[in-house]
């Protein structure tokens, strides 16, 4: 039996599961149930529901969804019996459509087997000290389009004596989630959200309502998944506690989870530097890179994003940030750093 049967003309009828033929030989060629039929020039593929008994007609599982008409066709017989994947052939007229069909089948099977339907990630932000109403923190500029699915916040310390409300902003606009952590509770998570950010947007966390005493030292989780082909990673997220000093190292012992290209830094100070810029340098395996990769944080700016020379790291390369220069009159205090990267082969 041929891998592809295409002799004759097929008539497809919108809403019908019956396809009729003239001049065809698919029954003689041995087409059976489970084979696929495709009208030439259309992306959809249909499964033959019953083994044909003649060359004049066959039944498909789902009603035909296209425009009624007669056309050339292809029946594919070389198919994986368990998963229904069509094995590609150089004789296929619309190979691109077949590959798209196969890839979708593979994705469907992976999800059915327990793989997540979205590549969710959690990016964590931090707030140190007792919450102050109206304070914004955890600046992050997004380098890929993403959907924010959940926000959550909590503390590993003592639960607050009073309820407090947290939220987040996109490009300075509050998202009105108004997530309340009840008194005596250490963690709260929002309902499913559908907030989206584009590449270049930024988010910040904010304390909306605080009644003291309200505990201290909170983490803020953003659960998200990419909605663009290029997935950006924010794996390196480290906090320098206290005043900056020259020669300090941020991220001691950190290894990338995948081979990655690093290209940008989001940062947030509790107390911003004054008197001069802050200069950080990217170190690989504890030493400076041949051509130094430096990151300059502006004087008297609390948070922001800085792009730097794209730099590759293997999973065996230790990545750290060295403080080459602190602020001159005020060094800068408690610096949260998030490096932006993407996976490379």
Q: What is the pLDDT along the chain (345 residues), one digit of tens a residue?
A: 678 899 999 999 999 999 999 999 999 999 998 889 999 988 888 989 888 999 999 999 889 999 999 999 999 998 887 777 888 877 777 787 788 787 777 777 776 666 555 678 899 999 999 999 999 999 999 998 999 999 999 999 888 999 999 999 999 999 999 999 999 999 999 999 999 999 899 999 999 999 989 999 999 999 999 887 677 889 899 999 999 999 999 999 999 998 999 999 999 999 999 999 999 999 999 999 999 999 999 999 999 999 999 999 999 999 999 999 999 999 999 999 999 998 887
Q: Let me know whether 248 and 321 are in one domain.
A: yes
- Of 194, 226, 258, the position where a domain reaches its end is 226
Q: Let me know whether 94 and 12 are in one domain.
A: yes
Task: Name 94's Cβ contacts closer than 8 Å, sequence gap at least 6.
Answer: 38, 40, 41, 42, 43, 74
Q: Side by side, which strands form the sheet with 9-12?
A: 57-59, 18-22, 9-12, 69-71
Find the radius of gyration of the CA atoms of the chain. Answer: 29
Q: Let me know whether 332 and 315 are in one domain.
A: yes
* Residue 28, SS3 per DSSP: helix
Q: Let me know whether 28 and 47 are in one domain.
A: yes
In a domain, 231, yes or no: no
Indicate the DSSP class of residue 120. -
How far apart, in whole angstroms, are the C-alpha atoms of residue 103 and residue 96? 11
In a domain, 232, yes or no: no
CA dist 252 → 30, 131, 223, 313, 327 (Å): 66, 28, 26, 15, 22
pTM for this model (two decimals): 0.69
* Residue 95, SS3 per DSSP: helix
- Of 82, 112, 142, the position where a domain reaches its end is 112
In a domain, 312, yes or no: yes
Q: Let me know whether 144 and 108 are in one domain.
A: no
Q: Let me know whether 186 and 215 are in one domain.
A: yes
* Closest CA relative to residue 17, chosen from 52, 58, 56: 58
Q: Let me know whether 108 and 165 are in one domain.
A: no
In a domain, 96, yes or no: yes
Q: Let me know whether 243 and 329 are in one domain.
A: yes
* Exposed/middle/buried for residue 192 (C-beta within 10 Å: 0-12, 13-18, 19+): exposed
Tell me the residue range of the domain where 125 lies.
121-226
Q: Which string of b and e fits 79-102 if b means at least 16 CB within 10 Å?
A: beeeebbbeeeeebebeebbeebb
Q: Let me know whether 157 and 220 are in one domain.
A: yes
Report angle CA 252, 203, 124 to the nearest 5 degrees: 35
Q: Let me know whether 94 and 128 are in one domain.
A: no
CATH assignment of the domain containing 9: 2.40.30
Indicate the DSSP class of residue 103. H
CATH assignment of the domain containing 261: 2.60.120
How far apart, in whole angstroms, are the C-alpha atoms of residue 143 and residue 308? 13
In a domain, 186, yes or no: yes
Task: Give the number of domains in the chain.
Answer: 3
Q: Let me know whether 198 and 279 are in one domain.
A: no
CATH assignment of the domain containing 141: 2.60.120.260
In a domain, 191, yes or no: yes
- Of 112, 144, 176, the position where a domain reaches its end is 112
* Closest CA relative to residue 173, chosen from 212, 209, 127, 204: 204
* Residue 259, SS3 per DSSP: coil
Q: Let me know whether 190 and 279 are in one domain.
A: no
How far apart, in whole angstroms, are the C-alpha atoms of residue 296 and residue 298? 6
SS3 of 139-187: EEECCCCEEEEEEEEEECCCCCCCCEEEEEEECCEECCCCEEECCCCCE
How far apart, in whole angstroms, are the C-alpha atoms of residue 111 and residue 105? 10
């Amino acid at each position: 039996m041929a891998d592809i049967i295409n002799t004759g003309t097929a008539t497809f009828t919108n809403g019908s599961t019956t396809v009729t033929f003239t001049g065809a030989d698919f029954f003689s060629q041995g087409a059976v149930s489970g084979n696929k039929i495709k009208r030439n020039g259309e992306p959809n593929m249909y499964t033959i529901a019953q083994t044909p008994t003649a060359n004049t007609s066959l039944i498909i599982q789902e009603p035909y969804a296209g425009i009624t008409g007669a056309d050339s066709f292809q029946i594919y017989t070389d198919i994986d019996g368990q998963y229904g994947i069509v094995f590609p052939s150089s004789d296929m007229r619309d190979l691109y459509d077949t590959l798209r069909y196969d890839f979708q089948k593979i994705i469907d099977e992976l999800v059915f087997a327990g793989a997540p339907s979205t590549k969710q990630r959690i990016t964590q932000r931090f707030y140190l000290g007792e919450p102050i109403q109206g304070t914004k923190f955890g600046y992050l500029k997004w380098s890929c389009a993403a959907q924010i699915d959940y926000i959550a916040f909590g503390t590993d310390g003592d639960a607050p004596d009073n309820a407090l409300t947290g939220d987040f902003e996109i490009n300075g606009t509050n998202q009105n989630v108004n997530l309340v952590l009840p008194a005596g509770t250490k963690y709260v998570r929002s309902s499913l959200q559908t907030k989206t950010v584009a590449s270049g947007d930024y988010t910040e966390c904010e304390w909306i309502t605080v009644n003291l005493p309200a505990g201290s030292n909170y983490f803020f989780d953003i659960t998200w998944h990419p909605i663009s082909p290029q997935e950006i990673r924010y794996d390196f997220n480290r906090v320098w506690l206290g005043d900056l000093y020259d020669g300090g190292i941020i991220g001691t012992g950190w290894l990338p989870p995948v081979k990655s290209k690093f290209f940008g830094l989001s940062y947030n100070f509790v107390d911003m530097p004054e008197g001069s810029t802050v200069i950080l340098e990217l170190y690989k395996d504890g030493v400076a890179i041949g051509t130094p990769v430096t990151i300059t944080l502006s004087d008297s700016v609390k948070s922001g994003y800085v792009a730097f020379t794209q730099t590759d790291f293997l999973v065996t390369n230790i990545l750290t940030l060295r403080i080459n220069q602190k602020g001159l009159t005020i060094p800068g205090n408690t610096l949260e750093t998030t490096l932006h990267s993407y996976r490379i082969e």
